[in-house]
Structure 1
Amino acid sequence: MRKIYPSDISRDQFAKIEGLLLSARKKTKPRKVDLYDVFCAILYVLKSGCQWDMIPSDFPPKSTVYTYFKQWKEKPSESELSLLEQTLKKNQVGAARIKHGRNEHSSFLIVDAQSVRNTDTAKYKGYDAGKKVSGIKRHIAVDTQGLPHALAVTTADVTDRKGALEAFVRHKKFLGKVVNVLADGGYTGRPFAEGVNEILGASVQIAKRNELHTFAVVPQRWVVERSFAWIEKCHRLWKNCERGLNTSLQFVNLAFLALLLRRD
């Protein structure tokens, strides 16, 4: 029996997503490892920020853990979602909203972007001149509870507007009820508003910061900042050390998935 780590979820929590994760398996050969331990090993990497080779020895072998992670993170095609994304969107976000007495699909979204510095192992990078960051950019759209409804990861040179539209396109089938999108001044402009209307049939509202450049909490904008703070509790996400943009995206999905499972 292995040691219990702070990054673990319970077996009851894992049971809620086990069915979807099992669908990735194509072989009929009996499984020799406990899938729960495999998932907890991936959560250990996410939470601690360690390298795959540094996974504790009481977990399944590193090669086995990474093989399962690779299956769960891969997208069948550019327009389809990975199993981790499906598990988050289909299984957890809607269930969390229903639990709090809300409709499964949100009608109001708040968008924002976060530029993250690369390490020397990262393959893709761009330069965000505004924030002076060389690396990648995470684009996120959340509801008023801070739950993610659309995610995308691009190089840092991609504009906030373009990245948000990419996220909306990827998750369009889950955003059919969206009526309004709230954004900050970085999303100002007719092309973005027209793009949101074309993709979602929704309108855009811009919340501008205090013109006097003094600190002021912008109503509802703090919600998306809190969502970024939630995932930054995972050391793997402090910087980007992934070779592929999709791997960076899937670790963000995994961070939100673990958060929602622990809350339930």
Structure 2
Amino acid sequence: MSTGYDYPTNLSDEQWQFFEPLLPKPKWQPGGPGRPPRDLRTVLNGIFYIHKTGCQWDMLPRDFGPNRTIYGYFRRWCQQGVWSSLMERFRKWERLDQGRKAEPSAACADSQSIKIMTQGRDVGVDGNKKIKGRKRHILVDTLGLILAVVVTPANTDDRKGLQALLKQYLSSGVKRLRKIWVDGGYESQDLKDWVRELKQTHKIDLEVVEKSGKGFEVQKQRWKVERTFAWISNDRRNTRDYEVNTTHSAAMIEISTIRMLLKRMV
């Protein structure tokens, strides 16, 4: 279907045909009460425009329809876990397409403190980075694809963030993960003890990759998680944290992975 306007972030016809069956089906039925749902292709185009350009919801071009409606879909899909589900599905397809198993046996974890640009909730100060805002914690496979993402106040300890990541990722019942590479900021006996308790159900080893000297250094395996932070920062909505709550912040990071993989697949 022609949208009547053309933005670089719009879904192509092929991408939309691929994407449409994966979206939640509207509950509204023809002849039933209420208004018919918006064209979901236009809704996605609007969300992707916000995501790439970083503009405010109120400044969304009218081509996409009422901005409150577009935002309403974004928020509803956050609450329903649609973005995380799509990211997981796309990640598995990409791994299988590269001849790998759907779930990885090794991963990397790291965090990134980022300034917040709104009067949002869950805000703290990272004393080391001298940043007031939030902290993004991500767990990625060796391809740099996100397995789990958690956004917290910036004063959250990295080790607590890693525990939250693992709880999120392992909650789906996956058991193949065996190795996680982290930097020296995760070094602690408490975290080692916590991971050791996981071995009753998950045989995971935590390996701390230390720097061998001063200055810039490409660290074994860990450069892959740094590359992922660079990928998500290519989308302007992720250069700062513009969201009122952390659930929406995490969703914007998930959308970065979804859009990146969609371009690879279609």
With the length of structure 2 as denominator, give the TM-score of the two structures: 0.90
Q: Find the residue that maps to 2:242 and give its secondary structure.
A: coil
1:213 matched to 2:230? The reply is: no
Amino acid of the residue matched to residue 85 of structure 1? Answer: S
Residue 235 of structure 2 is matched in structure 1 by 234
RMSD: 1.7
Rounded Cα–Cα distance in structure 1 between residues aligned with 2:262 and 2:95: 13
Check 1:197–1:6 CA distance in 2 against 1; reply closer, same or farther (3 A cut). Answer: farther
Residue 45 of structure 1 is matched in structure 2 by 50
Rounded Cα–Cα distance in structure 1 between residues aligned with 2:249 and 2:22: 21
Following TM superposition, by how much is the alpha carbon of 1:66 offset from its aligned partner in structure 2, in angstroms? 1.2
**Mapping for residues 66-77 of structure 1, pairs under 5 Å:** 66-75=71-80
Residue 114 of structure 2 is matched in structure 1 by 116
| Structure 1: runs of 5 or more not aligned | 76-81
Would the aligned equivalents of 1:20 and 1:83 in 2 still touch at CA under 8 Å? no
Moved over 6 A (4+): none
**Mapping for residues 1-264 of structure 1, pairs under 5 Å:** 1-23=3-25, 25-28=26-29, 29=32, 31-75=36-80, 82-89=81-88, 91-172=89-170, 173=172, 175-199=174-198, 200-210=202-212, 212-264=213-265
Following TM superposition, by how much is the alpha carbon of 1:22 offset from its aligned partner in structure 2, in angstroms? 2.1
Following TM superposition, by how much is the alpha carbon of 1:45 offset from its aligned partner in structure 2, in angstroms? 0.3
Over residues 27-78 of structure 1, what are the superposed CA-to-partner deviations in whole Å (9 max), with x where a residue is unaligned? 3357453211110110100100001111111112212211211111114xxx
| Structure 2: runs of 5 or more not aligned | none
Following TM superposition, by how much is the alpha carbon of 1:120 offset from its aligned partner in structure 2, in angstroms? 3.6
Would the aligned equivalents of 2:28 and 2:36 in 1 still touch at CA under 8 Å? no
Q: Find the residue that maps to 1:204 and give its secondary structure.
A: strand
Identify which range, 105-114 or 8-17, moves more after superposition.
8-17
- Identity level (%): 32
Residue 79 of structure 1 is matched in structure 2 by none
Would the aligned equivalents of 1:107 and 1:178 in 2 still touch at CA under 8 Å? yes
Over residues 86-130 of structure 1, what are the superposed CA-to-partner deviations in whole Å (9 max), with x where a residue is unaligned? 1111x2000000000100000000000000111143232011111
Q: Find the residue that maps to 1:186 and give its secondary structure.
A: helix
Over residues 228-264 of structure 1, what are the superposed CA-to-partner deviations in whole Å (9 max), with x where a residue is unaligned? 1011011111111211111111111111111111111
Amino acid of the residue matched to residue 111 of structure 2? Answer: A
Q: Find the residue that maps to 1:18 and give its secondary structure.
A: helix
Q: Find the residue that maps to 1:218 and give its secondary structure.
A: coil
Q: Find the residue that maps to 1:58 and give its secondary structure.
A: helix
Q: Find the residue that maps to 1:171 and give its secondary structure.
A: helix
Q: Find the residue that maps to 1:167 and give its secondary structure.
A: helix
**Count of aligned pairs:** 255
Rounded Cα–Cα distance in structure 2 between residues aligned with 1:11 and 1:196: 46
Rounded Cα–Cα distance in structure 2 between residues aligned with 1:198 and 1:232: 35
Following TM superposition, by how much is the alpha carbon of 1:227 offset from its aligned partner in structure 2, in angstroms? 0.4
